[in-house]
Amino acid sequence: MDFGMFFELQLPRPWADDDEQRLFHNALEWAELGERAGIGYAWAQEHHFLEEYSHSSAPEVFLAAVSQRTKTMRIGHGVNLMPPQYNHPARVAERIATLDLVSGGRVEWGTGESSSRLELEAFHVDYVKKRALWAEALRECAKMLAANPYPGYSGEFFSMPARNIVPKPVQRPHPPMWVACTNRDTVKLAARLGLGALTFAFMNGEEAAFWVREYYDTFKAECRPIGRAVNPNIAMLAGVMVHRDEDVARQRGLAGQQFFKWALAYYFRFGTHTPGRSDLWREFSQAEPEPMAGIAAVGTPDQARAHIAELEAAGVDQVIFLQQAGDYEHDHVCESLELLGTEVLPEFSERNETRKKRKEEELAPYVEQALRHVPPLPDTAVEPVEAYPVLWERRGVNSQEWGAKRALDAAQLWRLNVGQGGK
């Protein structure tokens, strides 16, 4: 199976002035260490305003830095929020293509919509319509990456005229597409749409096997791709902190993993948050800790190996390690990654290519069947776009009049800004 790293970039309070800078620089070092350890994917989340839980609000910038510190590691949006109020589809296409170019064709394009009130309402995203917003934007964004030119679109949630979106990605028609999945229904939706399933959930082998069966049975029977290609893969999350002494591993890693789960529920289910004032780490420290599944990789190399083997046997395509959570210390994360690379991952990597080839052969007829449902890109007439002076002249308007109007508007704006009320 493949392995990934998950960069939520957690930073519990209290904060010192340079803590965020240190966190980001440490994270780049973890990516380098992860690649040397045999981890093939770096996934960075997009969240906004979720203090302490996630300081990863501009993953495209962080991932661009990761791409320059690594050579072969896949660069994953895990995920890119797609409703247009967060990110206009054309801007998403431009950023995805640019990242694919600077990384040498290593982008994995994970997508989602979020469901936290702090994010949705700040960007005026309707909770009830967010899935439809995601789907419309994703479908059109995939077309923008593939079409030359994009023929334009007038839809329910956004519209734009015909334009040729540049640059184009290295990977054609577009990088592999994924969607965040939190339950059985979204796993099956991913399969129906030909998307990889990023199941950011902690599971044991039995639970994982059920989700894997659901995903691939649905893919084989019902896939109608939302993009221009398909990406039949399912990934699952595993909390990790490895040390040769089990007690040391749990002392270093257990609280951080529990904070990850608690803070996620705080923002998405039970919390009442005061921006800039609430202290999640303090509240978490006073809460009753809950037992957690999926943290069997918090332990010795043998324990981590056994948990990963369970997920491999269940048919999981990629295990994504939550290598940093809560109050994890930088040196401990580095030690854990080094142990993963030397004592845990090599045996899985050795049999990965054989497993991938067998899977590719098994799925080939189903992939071919799914791609028959991808409609050809429209070849419609594209209207030329005149520069403003050409347009004004054709309409019989003197460009100097427009220039004078713009100068008047600018003067009024300046007066408003200096408090004279535009008079």
Query: Across residues 222-249, what is the average pLDDT?
Result: 98
**Would 147 be classed as within a structural domain?**
yes
Give yes or no: residues 392 and 366 share one domain.
Answer: no
Give yes or no: residues 197 and 310 share one domain.
Answer: yes
Of the candidates 47, 9, 46, the residue with the CA atom closest to the CA atom of residue 28: 9
**Would 197 be classed as within a structural domain?**
yes
pLDDT at 348 over 80: yes
Please state whether beta strands 2-7 and 177-181 pair in parallel, antiparallel, or not at all (unpaired).
unpaired
Q: Which residues, other chains included, contact 72 with Cβ-Cβ below 8 Å and sequence gap of 6+? A: 35, 40, 106
Q: Exposed, middle or buried: residue 132 (CB in 10 Å: 0-12, 13-18, 19+)?
A: middle
Give yes or no: residues 302 and 396 share one domain.
Answer: no
Q: CB atoms < 10 A from the CB of 38, how many?
A: 18
What are the start-end ranges of the H helices in 38-162?
Answer: 59-69, 89-102, 117-122, 130-146
The domain of 409 spans 388-417
Give yes or no: residues 183 and 210 share one domain.
Answer: yes
Give yes or no: residues 332 and 223 share one domain.
Answer: yes
The CA distance from 212 to 226, in Å, is 20
Give yes or no: residues 145 and 210 share one domain.
Answer: yes
**Would 423 be classed as within a structural domain?**
no
Give the confidence band of 413 by pLDDT, cuts at 50, 70, 90: low
Count of structural domains within the chain:
2
**CATH number of residue 277's parent domain:** 3.20.20.30
Query: pLDDT digits over 102-148, tens only?
Result: 999 999 999 999 999 999 999 999 999 999 999 999 999 999 999 99
Q: Which residues, other chains included, contact 352 with Cβ-Cβ below 8 Å and sequence gap of 6+? A: 1, 2
Give yes or no: residues 352 and 399 share one domain.
Answer: no
Whole-model pTM: value is: 0.94
